[in-house]
Chain A
Amino acid sequence: MFETLILILDSTVRLSTPLLLACLAGLYSERSGVVDIGLEGKMLGAAFGAGTVAYLTANAWLGLLAGIGVSVGLGLVHGFASITNRGNQIVSGVAINFLAAGLTALLGQTWFRQGGRTPALPEGGRFRDIVWPFAEEMRGIPVIGPIYSELLSGHNILVYAAFLAVPLTWWVLFRTRFGLRLRAVGESPAAVDTAGISVTWLRYRAVVGCGALCGFAGAYLSIAQGAGFGVNMTAGKGFIALAALIFAKWRPASAMLTCLLFGFLDAIAIRMQGQEIPGIGEVPVQFFQALPYILTVILLAGFIGKATPPKAAGIPYVKERS
Chain B
Amino acid sequence: MSAGQLPRWVDYGLIPLLNLAAAFLVSGLVVVLIGENPLKAVEVLVWGSLGYGEGIGFTLFYATNFIFTGLAVAVAFHAGLFNIGGEGQAYLGGLGVAFACLALDRFVPWYVTLPFAILGSALMGAAWALIPAWLQATRGSHVVITTIMFNFIASSLMVYLLNNVLKKPGSMQSETRTFEEGGRLPFLNDIFPSFGFGYAPVNLSLFVALAACVLVWLLIWRTKLGFEIRSYGANASAAVYAGISPVRTIVLTMLISGGLAGMMAINEIMGSQHRLLIDFVTGYGFVGIAVALMGRAHPVGIVLAAVLFGMLYQGGAELSFEMPNITRDMIIVIQGLVILFAGALEHMFRPAIGRFFTPSRALMAKEA
Q: Are B330 and A290 in contact, with the CB atoms below 8 A?
A: no
Interface string of A238-263 (1 = CB under 8 A from B): 01001100100000000000000000
Q: Are B160 and A286 in contact, with the CB atoms below 8 A?
A: yes
The distance in angstroms between the C-alpha atoms of A86 and B1, with both chains bound, is 12
- What residues of chain A lie closer than 8 Å to B315, measured between beta carbons? none
Min CB distance A322 to B, Å, is 16
Q: Are B344 and A92 in contact, with the CB atoms below 8 A?
A: yes
The distance in angstroms between the C-alpha atoms of A239 and B148, with both chains bound, is 8
Interface residues of A in 46-100 (CB under 8 A from B): 77, 80-82, 85-92, 94-100
Q: Residue B142 at the A interface, CB < 8 A? A: yes
Min CB distance B288 to A, Å, is 11
Interface string of B103-130 (1 = CB under 8 A from A): 0000000000000000000000000000
Q: Are B34 and A77 in contact, with the CB atoms below 8 A?
A: no
Interface string of B149-165 (1 = CB under 8 A from A): 11011001101100010
Q: Are A95 and B336 in contact, with the CB atoms below 8 A?
A: yes
Residue of A nearest to B341 (CB): A95
Q: Are B336 and A99 in contact, with the CB atoms below 8 A?
A: yes
Which of A106-114, A118-126, A167-175 makes up part of the contact surface? A106-114
Interface residues of B in 314-368 (CB under 8 A from A): 325-327, 329-337, 339-340, 343-348
Q: Are B159 and A92 in contact, with the CB atoms below 8 A?
A: no
Q: Residue A197 at the B interface, CB < 8 A? A: no
The distance in angstroms between the C-alpha atoms of A236 and B152, with both chains bound, is 8
Q: Are A37 and B332 in contact, with the CB atoms below 8 A?
A: no
Min CB distance A305 to B, Å, is 12
Cβ-neighbour of B339 out of A89, A98, A242 (below 8 A)? A98
Q: Are A87 and B345 in contact, with the CB atoms below 8 A?
A: yes
Question: What secondary structure prevails in chain B residues at the interface with A?
Answer: helix
Q: Residue B303 at the A interface, CB < 8 A? A: no
Q: Are B152 and A91 in contact, with the CB atoms below 8 A?
A: no
A86/B148 contact (C-beta < 8 A), A94-B84, A289-B156, A300-B135 known = no
Q: Residue B273 at the A interface, CB < 8 A? A: no
- What residues of chain B lie closer than 8 Å to A289, measured between beta carbons? 152, 156
Q: Are B149 and A297 in contact, with the CB atoms below 8 A?
A: yes
Q: Residue A293 at the B interface, CB < 8 A? A: yes
Q: Are B156 and A290 in contact, with the CB atoms below 8 A?
A: yes
Question: What secondary structure prevails in chain A residues at the interface with B?
Answer: helix
The distance in angstroms between the C-alpha atoms of A284 and B164, with both chains bound, is 9
- What residues of chain B lie closer than 8 Å to A86, measured between beta carbons? 347
Q: Are A246 and B336 in contact, with the CB atoms below 8 A?
A: no
The residue in A81, A242, A302 that gathers the most chain B C-beta atoms within 10 A of its C-beta is: A81
Cβ-neighbour of B327 out of A101, A109, A301 (below 8 A)? A109
Q: Are A300 and B146 in contact, with the CB atoms below 8 A?
A: yes
The distance in angstroms between the C-alpha atoms of A300 and B337, with both chains bound, is 32
The distance in angstroms between the C-alpha atoms of A116 and B164, with both chains bound, is 32
Q: Are B289 and A94 in contact, with the CB atoms below 8 A?
A: yes
Q: Are B337 and A95 in contact, with the CB atoms below 8 A?
A: yes
Q: Residue A180 at the B interface, CB < 8 A? A: no
Interface string of B227-250 (1 = CB under 8 A from A): 000000000000000000000000
Interface string of A17-51 (1 = CB under 8 A from B): 00000000000000000000100000000000000
- What residues of chain A lie closer than 8 Å to B332, measured between beta carbons? 98, 101-102, 105
Q: Are A106 and B336 in contact, with the CB atoms below 8 A?
A: no
State the interface size on chain B (CB cutoff 8 A): 48
Residue of B nearest to A295 (CB): B149
The distance in angstroms between the C-alpha atoms of A196 and B197, with both chains bound, is 64
Interface residues of B in 71-91 (CB under 8 A from A): 82, 84
- What residues of chain A lie closer than 8 Å to B335, measured between beta carbons? 98, 102
Q: Are A300 and B344 in contact, with the CB atoms below 8 A?
A: no
The distance in angstroms between the C-alpha atoms of A101 and B135, with both chains bound, is 31
A103/B159 contact (C-beta < 8 A), A92-B343, A301-B141 known = no
- What residues of chain B lie closer than 8 Å to A309, measured between beta carbons? 142
Interface residues of A in 270-322 (CB under 8 A from B): 284, 286-287, 289-290, 293-294, 296-297, 300-302, 307, 309
- What residues of chain A lie closer than 8 Å to B131, measured between beta carbons? 297
A87/B34 contact (C-beta < 8 A), A102-B330, A239-B148, A302-B139 known = no
Q: Are A77 and B340 in contact, with the CB atoms below 8 A?
A: yes
Cβ-neighbour of A290 out of B35, B141, B157 (below 8 A)? B157
The distance in angstroms between the C-alpha atoms of A105 and B164, with both chains bound, is 32
Min CB distance B26 to A, Å, is 10
Cβ-neighbour of A85 out of B34, B35, B344 (below 8 A)? B344
The residue in B145, B337, B339 that gathers the most chain A C-beta atoms within 10 A of its C-beta is: B145
- What residues of chain B lie closer than 8 Å to A87, measured between beta carbons? 343-347
The distance in angstroms between the C-alpha atoms of A248 and B140, with both chains bound, is 17
For the complex of A and B, the 6 pairs showing the least CB-CB separation, nearest first, are A98-B336, A102-B332, A300-B141, A102-B333, A92-B344, A99-B336
Known contacts A90-B82, A243-B149; 18 additional CB pairs below 8 A are A85-B348, A87-B345, A87-B347, A94-B286, A95-B343, A97-B336, A98-B332, A101-B329, A106-B327, A110-B35, A110-B325, A239-B148, A290-B156, A293-B153, A296-B149, A300-B135, A300-B146, A307-B141
Partner-A contacts on B (CB < 8 A): 30, 33-35, 82, 84, 131, 135, 139-142, 144-146, 148-150, 152-153, 156-157, 159-160, 164, 286, 289, 293, 325-327, 329-337, 339-340, 343-348
11 contacts between A and B (CB under 8 A): A77-B340, A82-B344, A90-B82, A91-B289, A91-B293, A94-B286, A99-B336, A105-B332, A293-B152, A297-B150, A307-B141
